[in-house]
């Protein structure tokens, strides 16, 4: 794993990267995802501040327990990751206060967990992770995950779910309405809110073009 991407705390990254990911073929939650989230954190940190060591540990360990999107344990994934991260950091003799800060940031990052972030670091990590679900990356990850889960692109009988309930486990396009188009409203930091709106507009633009190409615009 390339620790040099995680500057300016690359030495800490070298210690944490071996614990960052469980064996998995999930390309939406891989090293590239961690790199993107760290890039987002660095961008937010420039305006918002926060402790870089806590931020990096939370980023690298926020997916350290692999739980599939369609697993009944999905809502518990961030708590399981926080517990494992706490054990890893305790083995490294981190002080309890910093371990607690990292664990809270990990637990609160998850959309499924629905936990309000209390610290600046938790707000930044949540924003940074959610930015990766917006814009063109959000589009790419959504269709990638839908393919892995065996979902159809959309319901050919009712693509916009006018006569049915949304079902994003069966139809990828439904996921835009059940989650993605609502993400930009929940950002915690001023910098995150600004970046989220930019990516939100890209997401909406994709949706309009997609609907046009399937003949329903």
On whether the CB atoms of residues 138 and 39 are closer than 8 A, the answer is no
pLDDT at residue 26, rounded to an integer: 75
- Quote the CA–CA distance of 193 and 131 in Å, as a whole number: 10
The pLDDT value given to residue 2: 61
**Gap between the Cα atoms of 126 and 87, Å rounded:** 21
Distances (CA, A) of 97 to 35, 86, 134, 135, 159: 26, 11, 32, 35, 49
CB contact at 8 A, 199 and 131: yes
At 214, phi and psi to the nearest 5?
A: -100, 5
Helices and strands per DSSP (H, E), number in the chain? 9, 0
DSSP state of 138: H
pLDDT score of 21? 87
pLDDT in tens, the chain (217 residues): 566 789 889 999 999 999 998 777 777 778 999 999 999 999 999 999 999 999 999 999 999 987 766 666 666 889 999 999 999 999 999 999 999 999 999 999 987 778 899 999 999 999 999 999 999 999 999 999 999 889 999 999 999 999 999 999 999 999 999 999 999 998 999 999 999 999 999 999 999 999 999 999 6
Name the DSSP letter for residue 179.
T
Read off the pTM.
0.91
Burial class (CB in 10 A: 0-12, 13-18, 19+), 139: buried
Cβ neighbours of 105 (radius 10 Å): 31
- Alpha carbons 28 and 84: distance in angstroms, whole number: 21
All domains of the chain, ordered by start, with CATH?
A: 1-115 (no CATH), 133-217 (1.10.3210.50)
């Amino acid at each position: 794993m390339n620790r040099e991407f995680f500057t300016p705390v690359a030495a800490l990254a070298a210690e944490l990267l071996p614990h960052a990911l469980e064996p998995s073929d999930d390309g939406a939650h891989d090293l590239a995802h961690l790199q993107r989230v760290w890039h987002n954190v660095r961008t937010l940190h420039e305006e918002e501040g926060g402790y870089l060591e806590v931020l990096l540990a939370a980023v690298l360990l926020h997916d350290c327990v692999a739980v599939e999107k369609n697993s009944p344990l999905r809502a518990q994934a961030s708590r399981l990751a926080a517990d494992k991260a706490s054990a890893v950091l305790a083995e490294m003799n981190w002080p309890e206060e910093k371990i607690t800060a990292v664990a809270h940031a990990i637990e609160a990052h998850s959309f499924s967990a629905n936990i309000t972030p209390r610290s600046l670091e938790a707000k930044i990590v949540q924003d940074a992770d959610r930015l990766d679900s917006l814009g063109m990356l959000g589009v790419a990850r959504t269709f990638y995950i839908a393919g892995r889960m065996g979902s159809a692109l959309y319901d050919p009988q009712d693509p916009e779910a006018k006569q049915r309930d949304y079902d994003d486990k069966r139809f990828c396009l439904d996921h835009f309405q059940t989650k993605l188009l609502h993400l930009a409203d929940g950002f915690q930091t001023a910098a995150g809110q600004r970046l989220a709106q930019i990516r939100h507009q890209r997401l909406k633009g994709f949706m309009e073009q997609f609907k046009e190409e399937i003949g329903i615009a």
